[in-house]
A and B are shown apart, each in its own frame.
Chain A
C-alpha cells in the first residue's frame, strides 16, 4: 500500500467514529480498530521491500517553490516507529472500548485518537522536514484534545493547556531550527540533509540550529527543564496516557533526535547538551517518581526518567549507544504501556489510584497482579525481562562515558538513578499488590473483563519473550540501528545477550537492585525526609510565568485595542497620512499633464449640497436619528454623483446598499439612546479635528494630483476594457471583472459575507438565549408609540410593489453581463422587496410565508458559485475559468449563455441570504412581551368588520 494511504488512512478514518457514535460503542470502537489495522497491514505490506534493502518512497510536489513537498519515506527507523504507533494503537483502541464509560462520548474520543495517530505516523514517515513540522504541530494539537478529553475536569483542561503551551513553544523553536538546517543543506528533504553531515557541522549556524531543534525535541520528550508538563498531562483518560506516554507523543522528540543523529550528533555541543539533559532528567524523574502517591504520577515520572535514559544514550554519539537507545525504545514502549493499562485497571476497579489507599490486591485481582508485576520487574531491570537487557546496555555505555572530568561521576549518578528506578518499580508491586488485604477500598476491586486485561497481557508476553530470547529481537534492533546510524558509523559488534560475564554494568545493576529493595524498606523515613525538603512546584511557577505574559499582552492590547472606534480611526488616518507623506516626499512625480475641467452649475450644486450635508452632520452628530437622515442624504448625493460621472453600476449598488444600511441602523437605533453624550474635552476635540482635517486635506491633495496626471504605469483598466468582451463574453466590464477576471476575489467575498451574516445570527441567538432575553422582552419603549402597527395603505402598496420589484430584480440580474446590473445589485433589490413585506405586514406574517431558511440560501449561493468554479476543472481549466457561447432557439433572437451567469447566480443568492439573515436576526431582538404578534397583516382591516366576508380570511 502506498505510504500516502498509510498516513492518510487514520485522518480519513477519523471521520467515521463520530458518524458511527449512534451505532453503538462496539461498532464505533470496531471501526476505529479496523482503520488502524488497515493502516498497519498497509505498512507491513511494504516490509518485504524494505528488508530487501530498498527505501520505500512516495513523493508528490505540493509547494515546490517553497521546497515543501509531500514526500514520504520509510526506512528501518520510520518503519519501527510506525509499527509501534499503529500496533500499540490497536491495543489502546481495544482497551479504551472497555475503559470508557457510557457517559463518555466514544466517537469524539476515537476521532481525536485517530487524528493523533495519523499525525504521529506522518512524523515518522516524512521525508520533507517542512511536512514533518506540519505533522509535529498536528500532534501537539491533537494531543491537546486528547489530554483535555474530560472537559469537565479542570485538571484535564489545565494539563492540556500546559502540554500545548510547552510543546507548542518547542515546536516554534524547532521550526526555526529546521529552516536553518534546510538553508544550510540547500534542501528541505531529509534524505538530502542526512547526506550532508560535514557541511552542516562545519556551518557557523550549526549550533543555533542544534539548540533550536533540541528545544523542540526536549519539550516534546519532556526532558529537563521541560519535564513538568508530562505529569500534569496525566489528568487524561488512562488509554490516552498509555498511548501518548509509552509509544507515541513523547517518543516523537526521541524519534527526531534519532532521525537527525547522523547529521547532528558526534560534536561536543551535541554530546554535552543531550547527555547532560538526559542524565539529569533520568535521575530527577526517578527520584521524584518514588515519592508520588498517585499511580499514574509515579508512572509519569518514571516515563520522564526513562526518556532521559534514552536521550542520554543518543547523546553519547556512539553506535553502541544508538543501538541501546533503539532497543530501550522498544522495551520501554512494551512495559510502560502495560503498566499504564494496569494502573487504569486498578483505577477503574478500585476507584482510586492513590497508593496509600491500596495494597493487598494480589488476591482480589490476580490477573492484573501478574501483568503489572511482570511489567514492573522489567522496568526495575530484573533479568529475564526485556528491561534488564537494555538497561545493561545503558550501564555498559555509561561506564565508558565521562562528563566534566571525573571518571566516576556519570556511573555514580546513573547507578543512583537506576537505584530509584528499581525502588519505584518495587513500590508499584509492593505497595499496591502485596501486603495485607484491606477493607476500606472505595470500591470492591476485582479483575476486569478480558477487553481490558488482554491488551496489557499481550504486551507482557512480549516483555518476557524478548527478555528470555533476546536473539529474536536482535536482527530487528540491528536493522533499525543501521537506519539511525545512516552510514556515519559502523554497526556495533556486541550482541544482545543475557549474560556477558561479570562486567561493570552487571555490578552497577546489582547495586541498583539491592539498593532499590533497601530504599523501599526505608520508604517511610525517606518519605518524611522528602516531604521536609523544600522544592519548587512546577505548576505554580508555570502559572506565574503565564500570568506575567498575560498581563503584558493585556497592557499592550488594552492600550491599542480599547474598543473606541474613534481611536482606531485616528491611528489609521495618521498612519496613512504618514505613509502617503513619506511617498510624496521621497518619490518622483511628473508635471501635471491635464487641463482642469470647467465647473458647471449642476456639479457645483451637488458639491455644495454635499458640503452642507456633511458640515451639518458634523454639527448635529449627537442627534443620532438626524445623523442617520443626513447620512442617507450624503449617500443619495454620492449615488447621483456616480451616475453623473458615468458609473450607473455604482449608482445602483450605492442606493441599494444605502437602503439596506439605513434599515439595519434603524433596527439597531431602536435599542440605543437618541443622543450621544459628549465625552471629549476641548483639547481632545481640537486634536481630533486637526487629524480629521489633515486626513481630508491629504485625500483631496492625492485625488487632485492623480486626476491631473496620466498614470505612470499603464493601468490594468486598459487590459480589462480590451478583454472584457473578447475573453469574458460580456460588454459590462464592471460585471465581467466581478464574475470573471476577479471571480476568485468575489468568491472569497461572498463567503465572508455569508460568514458575517451567520455570526450576526449566532450572536443574536446567543443573546436571546441568555439573561438579556428577559430584559428585552420586558423593555418599555422610551417614546410614545402610535397605535397602528401595520397600516393598511402600506400593506397594500408593498404588495403591489412586490412583483414589480422582483421582476426588476430578475431583469437587472439577467442583463448584468452586458449592461449595468448583475447578481450583487439584484440580490440587494430582491432583499429590499422582502424587507418591505417584513416592515409592512409584520415579522410574523412575512416569516410564515418564507419557505426557505436564509442560512440555506447563503449556503446554496456559495455552493453554486463554487460548483461553477469546479466545473471548469472538468474541461481541464483552472478554477473559475469561464466559458460562454451564443445560442439560438427560434423564434427568439440569438442569445448568450455564460458560466459567469451561473456564478453570478451564486453571488445573487449569497447576497440575498446574507442581507435577509442579518436583518431578520436584528429584528428578532425587538420582540416584546406585551405586544403579541398579530395573525393578520393589517391591524385595521375593514373587510374583517364586514359581516359578509368574516371568516374568509384577509
Chain B
C-alpha cells in the first residue's frame, strides 16, 4: 500500500512526464511536418500541453497564482490556430 502523499507525488511526476513527452512528440511532428497543417496542429497541441503544464505547476507548488495564466492560454491560444487555419484556407484572415 502506498501512502497517499507519496501517490500524489508519483501522480504529479507521471503527469509532468506525460505532458513533457507529449510536448516533445508534438515538437517532432512540427519538425518533420510534412504539411503546414500538421505543423499548425502541432502548435495547437503544444498550447494545450502548455496549459496542462501550467496547471500542474500550480498544483506542484500549491498555489492558485497560475490559474489565470492557464485560463488565458486556454481562452486565447486557439485564436492563433484559427488565424493560421484561415490564412491557409482564404489568405485573408479578416474579410
Contact = CB atoms under 8 A, between A and B. Distances in A.
Contacts of B24: 605, 608-609
A601 B16 contact: yes
Contacts of B40: 629
A463 to B, nearest CB: 72
Interface in A637-662: 637, 639-640, 643-644, 646, 648, 651-652, 655-656, 658-659, 662
A70 B82 CA distance: 60
Contacts of B36: 625-626, 629
A785 interface: yes
Contacts of A640: 50, 53-54
Interface in A783-800: 783, 785-786, 789, 794
A836 interface: yes
A663 B85 CA distance: 11
A643 B69 contact: yes
A839 B89 contact: no
A667 interface: yes
B76 A789 contact: no
A820 B69 contact: yes
A812 interface: yes
Most chain B CB inside 10 Å of its own CB: which residue of A602, A667, A812, A842: A602
A804 interface: yes
A801 to B, nearest CB: 7
A629 B43 CA distance: 7
A666 B17 CA distance: 34
A827 to B, nearest CB: 13
A783 B71 CA distance: 36
Contact of B73 (A609, A625, A644, A655): A655
A781 interface: yes
Contacts, number: 156
Contacts of A637: 50
Most chain A CB inside 10 Å of its own CB: which residue of B17, B65, B95: B95
Contacts of A625: 36, 84, 87-88
B76 A659 contact: yes
Contacts of B90: 785-786, 789
B30 A836 contact: no
B8 to A, nearest CB: 17
A926 B92 contact: yes
A368 B87 CA distance: 75
A644 B66 CA distance: 9
- Size class of the contact patch on chain A: 35 or more
A324 B69 CA distance: 82
Contacts of B92: 667, 670, 923, 926
A651 B69 contact: yes
Given A612-B27, A805-B75, A632 B66 contact: no
A931 B24 CA distance: 42
A926 B95 contact: yes
A651 B70 CA distance: 9
B70 to A, nearest CB: 8
B44 to A, nearest CB: 10
Contact of B82 (A609, A628, A839): A839
Contacts of A658: 80
Most chain A CB inside 10 Å of its own CB: which residue of B39, B53, B80: B80
A838 interface: yes
A696 to B, nearest CB: 21
A666 B93 contact: yes
Contacts of B79: 659, 663, 832, 835-836, 839
Nearest to A608: B24
Contacts of A636: 43, 46-47, 50, 77
A613 interface: yes
A704 interface: no
Contacts of A820: 65, 68-69
Interface in B31-85: 31, 36, 39-40, 43, 46-47, 50, 53-54, 57, 65-66, 68-69, 71-73, 75-77, 79-80, 82-84
A507 interface: no
Given A789-B95, A808-B75, A629 B84 contact: yes
B76 A832 contact: yes
Given A640-B53, A663-B79, A633 B87 contact: no
B43 A648 contact: no
A441 interface: no
A578 to B, nearest CB: 36
A725 interface: no
Given A667-B93, A843-B95, A609 B27 contact: yes
B91 A670 contact: yes
A112 B54 CA distance: 62
A829 interface: yes
B69 A667 contact: no
A263 interface: no
B88 to A, nearest CB: 8
Contacts of A516: none
Contacts of B69: 643, 648, 651-652, 655, 820
B38 to A, nearest CB: 10
A440 B83 CA distance: 75
A63 to B, nearest CB: 46
A616 interface: yes
A626 B72 contact: no
Interface string A26-50: 0000000000000000000000000
Nearest to A843: B94
A919 interface: yes
Contacts of A670: 87, 91-93
Given A616-B30, A643-B69, A839-B82, A663 B23 contact: no
A657 B91 CA distance: 22
A680 B58 CA distance: 47
A667 B94 contact: yes
Contacts of A628: 84
Interface string A446-486: 00000000000000000000000000000000000000000
A669 interface: yes
A602 B72 contact: no
B54 A839 contact: no
A732 to B, nearest CB: 10
A821 interface: yes
Contacts of B65: 646, 648, 819-820
Interface in A216-238: none
Give 5 closest A-B pairs by Cβ, nearest first: A923-B94, A786-B89, A926-B92, A605-B20, A648-B69
8 contacts: A640-B50, A643-B57, A648-B66, A656-B72, A670-B91, A812-B72, A825-B72, A832-B76
Given A632-B80, A659-B83, A820-B65, 20 more contacts: A601-B20, A640-B54, A643-B54, A648-B68, A652-B69, A655-B76, A655-B77, A656-B72, A656-B76, A662-B84, A663-B93, A666-B83, A666-B87, A667-B92, A808-B72, A808-B75, A812-B68, A829-B72, A836-B82, A839-B79
